[in-house]
A and B are shown apart, each in its own frame.
Chain A
Amino acid sequence: MSFTSMKDMIQRAGEESCTLWEIIRKEDMLERQVKKEESMEQMYSLFEAMKEADKSYNGNQRSLSGLSGGDGSKIQQAIQKGIMISGDFISKVMEGAIKMGESNACMKRIVAAPTAGSCGVLSSVLLAYDAFYHPTKEEITHALYMAAGIGDVISNRASISGAKGGCQAEIGSASAMAAGAIAVLRDGTATQICHSGAFALKGLLGLVCDPIGGLVEVPCVKRNVIGAVNAITSTDLAIAGVESKVPFDEVIDAMAEIGEAMPCAYKETSQGGLAMTETGKHYETMK
């Protein structure tokens, strides 16, 4: 059994007088019959894998199609030159998101969260937070549980697959997961965590999956930046006390409905959108 709604998660946490991330950890211990330490170690190991993946970025590498690679280095250089106006933290997030997306396209090892195509969202947000605010190992672990729990609810109520729900289901879900994770790191309440996730997902509702040549490259790599930055601003809204008029669970349901109604051409089939532009078709024939 897993979580079918955020409401259910909050209720169960209330019944056991614990936080949201704790109830998610308890659920994992129960489901896999593992001890607390084992569950936490495994969860933290994912952060180490993200760090490792970030470190192993190679700006000279290109993907098999030649569509991706090298942009992470450009951001890194722009930061060094001081020409980014997004600010230090957001710039770092952008750099991390592009690098991870490119590494994925170049067949390097990444952490899918929730999918390989959206691997740069949660990782870039956590890595930048780690670099700027130095949370403890435990705090990072708690944030990862929260991200996983939110992703679990989304996969139960809607979908985390681009083929089923469009890009909103991948980058949108990743963004909501990252928003919840950052809210935990900033000691947000359960309500604030839900508002963060709701803002993040609402902002990306309707996003279609229209990759050029059917490859996880254009626009996927750069959509990781959108998902990551959107997660941070969403959490800032919630921490500032702004409330989502539509509760998170209902936003997820709206995402499911939009995904259902979305034409097939925009669900990872590359029969529409960017994939069918002049440029998209050009790459299609080069494949």
Chain B
Amino acid sequence: MGIFDIVGPVMVGPSSSHTAGAVKIGKVSRELLGEPLKKAEILLYGSFLATGKGHGTDKAIVAGLLGMNPDNIHIPESFKLAQKQGIKISFGEAHLKNAHPNSVEVHMESISGRELSVVAASLGGGSIKICTMDGLEANFSGDYPTLVVHNDDQPGHVAEVTSMLWQKSINIATMQLYRDYVGGNAVMILECDQEIPMESVKWLETLSGLQKVTYLSKVGGEEE
């Protein structure tokens, strides 16, 4: 933990896990969607469901979905702001198994019709974990430039992705692989030390066998 995590962060209260972490979950979810949001269904779980209202967790997640950072003083007005932007927001209860007590399931749809579902957890102190994307295991913090590739479970796709990173001199910090069954759907998640150029991300999308490419840039850490 850095000293600015001890004194700091500057954040909108009342809780680093239930408010600041919730904003971050919304923000990372929006960045993963990668396109302007049209509607979102937010399903709360555990302590988020039980005490979320009093902690403003609902407002915080929506604020993040609008692109706000945890120190934005407009977080309490996020519902109104979402309405103004014509974004439809609905809430419900999530039915998750073996989930962290501070979890949320977010179903998003962009204006172009791109859909993404994310389950995320707020781990405390404002740090978060993206647990699943579109039902497949994920497991990343959102603190690094992160590449998520959904592909057919067949040989060669990891090599395609990693050789592209090598050519662009991008170092991989962590890497995870999951699949549902042999020859089924697979997902690889790579947290990187450098940003990946957008054209390289786009290039990956053209490869056969790669179903969906999602990129979380940290350059977009600034508010929109």
Contact = CB atoms under 8 A, between A and B. Distances in A.
Given A64-B53, A107-B76, A109-B71, A147 B7 contact: yes
Interface residues of B, number: 32
Contact of B11 (A28, A106, A112, A216): A112
Interface stretch (A8-16, A155-163, A197-205): A155-163
Contacts of A148: 3-4, 6-7
A190 interface: no
Given A49-B10, A114-B7, 10 more contacts: A28-B2, A42-B4, A65-B54, A113-B7, A114-B6, A116-B11, A145-B3, A177-B7, A214-B47, A215-B51
Interface in B131-152: none
A2 B10 CA distance: 22
Interface stretch (B13-21, B30-38, B203-211): B13-21
Given A46-B10, A161-B125, A116 B54 contact: no
Contacts of A42: 4
A274 interface: no
A interface SS class: helix
7 contacts: A109-B10, A110-B13, A112-B9, A119-B13, A152-B6, A214-B50, A216-B55
B8 interface: yes
Contacts of B124: 161, 163
B89 interface: no
A81 interface: no
A183 to B, nearest CB: 16
User: Which interface class (under 10, 10 to 19, 20 to 34, 35 or more) fits A?
Assistant: 35 or more
A24 B4 CA distance: 11
Contacts of A287: 51, 53-54
A216 B18 CA distance: 10
Contacts of A172: none
A96 interface: no
Interface of B: 1-4, 6-16, 19-20, 47, 50-51, 53-56, 59, 71, 73, 75-76, 124-126
A76 interface: no
Nearest to B73: A109
A103 B19 CA distance: 14
A106 B10 CA distance: 15
Interface of A: 2, 24, 27-28, 31-32, 42-43, 46, 49, 63-65, 103-117, 119, 122, 144-145, 147-149, 151-152, 155-156, 160-161, 163, 177, 213-217, 287
A76 B149 CA distance: 57
A272 B209 CA distance: 54
B2 A32 contact: yes
Of the listed residues B11, B14, B50, B76, the one surrounded by the most CB atoms of chain A closer than 10 A to its CB is B14
A106 B3 contact: no
Contact of A106 (B6, B13, B126): B13
10 nearest CB pairs, A to B = A104-B13, A151-B6, A148-B3, A214-B51, A216-B14, A215-B54, A148-B7, A107-B76, A49-B10, A65-B54
Contacts of A145: 3
A215 B47 CA distance: 11
A41 B7 CA distance: 14
Contacts of A103: 13
Nearest to B14: A216
B1 A155 contact: yes
B14 A116 contact: yes
Nearest to A221: B14
Contact of A107 (B1, B8, B14, B47): B14
Contacts of B73: 108-109
A31 B50 CA distance: 38
A151 B4 CA distance: 10
A109 B11 contact: yes
A129 to B, nearest CB: 15
A99 to B, nearest CB: 12
B54 A214 contact: yes
Nearest to A119: B13
A156 B1 CA distance: 9
B3 A152 contact: yes
Which of B6, B9, B16 has the most chain A CB atoms inside 10 A of its CB? B6
A28 B5 CA distance: 11
A46 B12 contact: no
B13 A116 contact: yes
Nearest to B126: A112
Contacts of B9: 111-112
A110 B19 CA distance: 12
Nearest to A148: B3
